[in-house]
Amino acid sequence: MSSLNLDDFTDLIERPDAAVRRAAEARRGRQIVPPGSLGRLDELGEWLAAAQGAVPVRAIEQPRVVLFAADHGVAELGVSARPAGGASALVREILDGGRPVSVLARRLGVPVRVVDMALDCDPDTLPEDVVRHRVRRGSGRIDIEDALTAEEAAAAFAAGVAVADEEADSGTDLVVLGDVSVGGTTVAGVLVAALCGTDASVVTGRGGLAIDDLAWMRKCAAIRDALRRARPVLGDQLALLGAVGGADFAAMTGFLLQSAVRKLPVVLDGVVAASCALVAQRVAFRAPDWWLAAHDSGEPGQAKALDRMALEPLLDHSVRVGEGTGGLLALPLIQSAAALAAELPEQPEEKPTEPAEPTEPTEPAGGDATATDGAA
């Protein structure tokens, strides 16, 4: 895209190939295991075939975890069990291999990419490839001020588009999309409530570390106050992301839309990714056809967003830790679906039965004796 015009995505994004999906369904009907007996694995295999434009479906050989990282000013209100500005410590733990996503990624052989969009730390403390897309240090407190300026929102969105292009160009064939943030679930709750027209209490969850009742009430109040600031800009998705989102949310929205343009399937992890997907759906209604929901994290905002996009989670293990962990847990299931769709043999074709050779008529037993009696 030569300039940032979100309306362009409506024309640029196509649906996965329906004819290929029908061909995949027909092939599934010829395989030795009856259709439907593998449950959602059948559906996943057919979805992958349509996304790849290939029958049989190709194996997923170069998946990648992409995590957008930021600190949110609203965390200063005590809405999270983690301290405000603490996301950079989580990023260092991921890079050092000590977080759940790091362990699973090693086990599955999947590289993890962290993209710093607005961490509240000195950029010199992190590797250059992590910080090179950073837009700002931290974000505004969305209950009383904008998270980003208009210029920062546009820059973060463009950074997400660029990261999607980098992944597609490098041969990545499936992305697990997640976040590393403190205060991110509060921001996600604001976006989901604003776009679904619900009250703050409906979307307010307890976050990854299960905050207590007092923190939940503070979180609910923060979402309520931010909602008042969100409603005037609901018709402009970039302005919405600037007002009550953040640099990571703007980048993830751009990433999701450009991935759909590039026909790169994305697995959504958790409420933050789901809220960005909901914003992206407002931009281009065909975009959700390129996404899968990895799991149900137990966050009410995630359930609301996925229901609005008609995406059904693959897993329900109550994994709340975020950081792409639930998405990685779903990856072997998706890879298994691809393998079954591609490698199960088809039933042998039955050869048509050849007609029997005509036979000479035979005389009934005792034919001569009958003839003699008749002559007499």
Supply the residues annotated as catalytic: 323
Task: Name residue 335's amino acid.
Answer: Q
3-state secondary structure of 85: coil
Rounded to an integer, what distance in angstroms lies between the CA atom of residue 194 and that of residue 339? 40
Cβ within 8 Å of residue 374, ≥6 positions away: none
**Radius of gyration (C-alpha) of the chain in whole angstroms:** 28
Check if the beta carbon of residue 184 is closer than 8 Å to that of residue 70: yes
Q: Where are the alpha helices (DSSP H) in 294-366?
A: 300-309, 325-343
Shortest CA distance to 65 belongs to which of 270, 224, 235, 257? 270
End-to-end CA distance of the chain: 109
Shortest CA distance to 270 belongs to which of 235, 223, 320, 317? 320
- Residue 254 tokens read as 């751009």
Rounded to an integer, what distance in angstroms lies between the CA atom of residue 341 and that of residue 324? 26
Backbone phi, then psi, for 364, in 5-degree steps?
A: -65, 150
Check if the beta carbon of residue 254 is closer than 8 Å to that of residue 170: no
Rounded to an integer, what distance in angstroms lies between the CA atom of residue 102 and that of residue 96? 8
**DSSP conformation letters of 143-209:** TTS-SS-HHHHHHHHHHHHHHHHHHHHTT--EEEEEEEEESHHHHHHHHHHHHHT--HHHH---TTT
Check if the beta carbon of residue 188 is closer than 8 Å to that of residue 272: yes
* Secondary structure E strands in the chain: 63-71, 112-118, 174-182, 266-268, 291-293
